[in-house]
Structure 1
């Protein structure tokens, strides 16, 4: 099966800026710039033959304001995502971009690191939305750019020390993997994913059960001991 790219349309009347966005977007794995246009009218004409996954949209276009074009796109193509790239720093424009459902708003002059980071964040959010069947509040927070508050860990003392045999980095890794796992898993399956031993993973899973973060499902087979499978509550 061929690789599925995120297809991008760039709407920018500054030819130099458009070429820069195209060059660096192509450098990010999984993205493919399919079309570039310099006006709102041309963009709407292109939509008759091609619907992108993502638009990089300037606000100051020669024939219309980018936020007005955003609403025109929303009327017919709700499945298209938009990242605004603009010199506009007035509150009204930012407010319209938020109301129009823009994924992000990058202000010129664009910092390359921020540009690439935003594309990676978009790709991660898109991948997660297509792979998950249900979401937790932390997932929703990440989609809306809300930073998740660190939950206190049961078993820590006042200095933040974890119980003996529980390392905070390994714990974070296992927590994250369980958050991304939609179905139940056992210690062997999780150990293969994170590259740890069965006994280590089992210890951390049981610790999370004791913290009331996971629940255990006992599976009875015909041979051997019952299997313990873990899942988020």
Structure 2
């Protein structure tokens, strides 16, 4: 994937949550915080000025709450995506935000892992849309399914300790390679330990998604290399 950085504006009235959100977002590669606003009205003006890719938005805010804010962003045709992070968990509010185009909805209290998953899903979806140009209905359905589900693999289907977002990153990376790669090469690209990468690769091999080849050369242990299997 390209190393394009996605710029984020945070719209949140609680200073402590602002800082937690900022730290979490900037821990995720390829995301940076362009600005922070304490209410929806200021947030809209900040979006108009900074032109970010993404807004991370609360619902309960003074001056203009999250629903009014996302409505205004859409009414003014601001080309920005929205992820909601809020304590609001009633179906009416959730439906209102999704109806106005929120790409994800995270309920407080939240974890770094949940935000990381949301941002990585968003980045993957955006980059694939940019790269593909025209696409078939089947490919579009696949992209939309992955965006909603976070991965082609359900969390409950994975062994303990494996994350579906990381698994999908590995699949995406291997799918773009013509030559088999070692666990160390995969680990370096994804940003995980070699032993961890080996666990993901072994899981993919057991499920018929990758093929393992043993490479002998010189003194020492042979190198195990992995390549994606052709899809049926």
Q: Is TM (by shorter chain) over 0.5?
A: yes
Number of residue pairs the alignment of both structures matches: 175
Match 1:143 to one of 140, 147, 154: 147
TM-score (norm 1): 0.63
- 1:49 Cα deviation from its structure 2 partner: 1.8
Q: Which residue of 1 aligns with 2:43?
A: 43
For the residues of structure 2 that align with 1:116 and 1:178, how far apart are their CA atoms? 18
Q: Which residue of 2 aligns with 1:80?
A: 80
Q: In structure 2, do the counterparts of structure 1 residues 15 and 124 end up closer, same or farther at CA, with 3 Å as the change threshold?
A: same
- 1:201 Cα deviation from its structure 2 partner: 9.8
More displaced 10-residue stretch of structure 1: 115-124 or 27-36: 115-124
Give the 5 Å matches for 1:101-116.
101-116=101-116
> Cα RMSD (Å) of the superposition?
3.4
Q: In structure 2, do the counterparts of structure 1 residues 121 and 6 end up closer, same or farther at CA, with 3 Å as the change threshold?
A: same
Q: Contact 2:7/2:34 (CA < 8 Å) preserved in 1?
A: yes
Specify the SS of the correspondent of 1:45.
Answer: helix
Q: Which residue of 2 aligns with 1:100?
A: 100
Specify the SS of the correspondent of 2:62.
Answer: coil
- 1:101 Cα deviation from its structure 2 partner: 1.0
Q: Contact 1:28/1:116 (CA < 8 Å) preserved in 2?
A: yes
Q: Contact 1:190/1:201 (CA < 8 Å) preserved in 2?
A: no
- 1:126 Cα deviation from its structure 2 partner: 1.6
TM-score (norm 2): 0.63
More displaced 10-residue stretch of structure 1: 35-44 or 112-121: 112-121
Q: In structure 2, do the counterparts of structure 1 residues 193 and 130 end up closer, same or farther at CA, with 3 Å as the change threshold?
A: farther
Max radius of gyration: which structure?
1
Q: Which residue of 2 aligns with 1:60?
A: 60
Q: Which residue of 1 aligns with 2:178?
A: 190
Give the 5 Å matches for 1:176-215.
190-191=178-179, 205=230, 213=232
For the residues of structure 1 that align with 2:180 and 2:28, how far apart are their CA atoms? 28
- 1:40 Cα deviation from its structure 2 partner: 1.4
Q: Contact 2:125/2:143 (CA < 8 Å) preserved in 1?
A: no
**Unmatched segments (≥5 aa) in structure 2:** 155-167, 186-211, 214-224
Q: Which residue of 2 aligns with 1:14?
A: 14
Higher helix share: 2
Q: Which residue of 2 aligns with 1:28?
A: 28
